[in-house]
Amino acid sequence: MDELDTLFQTRKPPRKEGLSPLSLLTMPAPGQVQVLSWLMRRPTGATLLEIQEAMQGQKFDIPKVLHDLREEGRIQAAVLEGEVYYRVQIRTRNKARTPSEQINQMWSRLDQDKVRFVRSLPLFADLTAEEIADVAELMELREYNRHDVILWEGQVSDKLYLVKSGVVAISLFTADMQQAQRLAYLQAGDVLGEYNLITPEDQAATATATAASRVELLMITHKSFRELMAYHPSILLELSRLLVKRLIGMNPKRGQGARHLCLVLGMEGSQGRTALGLALAEMFAADQKTVYGEYPSIYSLLQVLGMTDTPDRPIYAHPNGFPLANWQAGEQNHLPTTLRVTLWLEKLLAEYATVVLGMSAFFNDSLAYLLGQAEQVLLVATPETWEQAVRFTAEIRPHLHPERATVHLILNRAKPAQADWPKPPAAEFAIPYLPELDLANPTASAPLRELASTLANRRGRTNQISVFIPTTVAVNTPIDTQPYVQQALTLLGERFGGATSSQAQGVWNSEEVGLVGETVYIVRSYATKNALARHLDEVLAFVERMKSELSQEAMAVEVNQRLMFI
């Protein structure tokens, strides 16, 4: 038995969420009974004007009543076609033979799940099992349907929200509520309302948070969370790291947000890495000022190109016209290596719109810094080093900005014996065996030119979105879902500039029939941050419609390697 399970048996059930018929008997505040009684007869909800007209003659402040009911979790507000609708939040009941069994069942399933979620968050990584259970007890579960408002812009809130499941949209609404500028999306594990924790008093929200899908949040008051930070400094430290990371993300490359860094990493020396980096630099150079460099030394490439006559020169010219940066030239050797790399990169970014750097896939402080600045990371590996490359990808991901950088694994068939080597599932691209490759003109090779062109077009589309489409209906009845695959390809292709589909074998656990195995189609696209913000709502609406038509218990969507279930 889990060590936490015995802990739950001695705890009291949490305060119930939403509204049950008996709730009307426990609301002494003026107007709450009248408003709720009327709203319960309107399942689709009503606008403020409709509520005011229905409550004519009543001597209570209707906006205040609605505000208090929302704070208590008894009603929700949703934005639908520019109108704000209020509806009753009905509490769902689990099927059980007796009230006692029902309470025990809800407590066992909901609270254990809540504790496990809290335990998975980096904020609470240093807490003991008992301390995590105590933290979870302080948190209240709130559920929201699509379009429900969690927090209004301008609203002063004294609460912190942890996204347990679903997608929360952060938006700026226009005065007529007809359009919204999407600023960001939060997913499972993200935090909402954390900025107020470090201010002496609660501040008004600067944007509106709404549910972009079915959402579960864990809510805790700022007062309670500040007390937790006082008792557990590790929480404060992790929160500080989160805030610093967000600030760095908002100010990349010291104000040079329009500049781009592409890292080409080779698992096995420079084999394949240099050729691809040069081809990519040539593609970028056709549209903007671009430079290619290698760290820690470009000397081997210069030898191949016959440019070693003046090794101290800082910039050489590649035969195809774009510049080559020599890292060693003009550097101050008395400075720490990491600082020298930092200064060198900033110097290049000050002069060039795009910097392509070739490096060996060896992790050190210099690579850690460069990963934090990169927009694209291309990891090139041969069949012999492929498993090593997959592990290395997992090692470097924490150092990448999740919304600004993408990693592409590329198989390089470098030897004649590898010409027919199959592409591994994790490989996005594969370079065929190229017996003759001229580094003075790498784009003369059609496969290399096509790959470089594809990667150049991907630049800026650093957000990956994937839709998982099952091949069953009503849980486990086989069905041809190719029409849905085509619809998903069309939707993602039109919104994000392209999409691909692939097959995978999936196994999942159904509450109705147990373990289910099936083929799953994965439709994937890459999007800019702005495009994802504009169109994620449409993708989620499509997935919800598919879920209904296929009678599925849940559908999966992945955004930036983070899986969510609708």
| HEC readout, 199-265 | CCCCCECCCEEEECCCEEEEEEEHHHHHHHHHHCHHHHHHHHHHHHHHHHHHCHHHHCCCCEEEEEE
pLDDT at 290: 95
Q: Is the pLDDT score of 293 beyond 70?
A: yes
pLDDT digits (tens, 9 = 90+) for 343-388: 888 889 989 999 999 999 988 888 988 998 898 999 999 999 999 9
pLDDT at 513: 57
pLDDT at 388: 93
CA-CA distance, 222 to 230, in Å (whole number)? Answer: 12
- Neighbouring CB atoms inside 10 A of 169's CB total 25
Tell me what the mean pLDDT of segment 199-212 comes to. 78
pLDDT digits (tens, 9 = 90+) for 61-81: 888 888 888 888 888 888 887
Half-sphere exposure of 367 (CA within 13 A, CB side): 21
CA-CA distance, 283 to 468, in Å (whole number)? Answer: 33
Tell me what the mean pLDDT of segment 10-26 comes to. 48
CA-CA distance, 79 to 88, in Å (whole number)? Answer: 15
pLDDT digits (tens, 9 = 90+) for 408-453: 999 999 889 998 999 888 898 999 998 888 888 998 899 999 999 9
User: Considering the entire predicted model, what is its pTM?
Assistant: 0.63
Q: Is the pLDDT score of 267 beyond 80?
A: yes
pLDDT digits (tens, 9 = 90+) for 442-464: 988 999 999 999 898 887 777 88
Domains of the chain by start residue, with CATH: 21-88 (1.10.10.10), 97-250 (2.60.120.10), 255-458 (3.40.50.300), 463-565 (3.30.70.120)
CA-CA distance, 478 to 279, in Å (whole number)? Answer: 45
Q: Where are the alpha helices (DSSP H) in 40-145?
A: 48-54, 62-71, 99-106, 112-120, 129-137
pLDDT digits (tens, 9 = 90+) for 154-164: 888 888 999 99
pLDDT digits (tens, 9 = 90+) for 514-543: 666 678 899 999 888 778 888 888 899 899
Q: Is the pLDDT score of 259 beyond 90?
A: no
CA-CA distance, 408 to 388, in Å (whole number)? Answer: 15
Residue type, 470: P
pLDDT at 558: 87
pLDDT at 11: 40
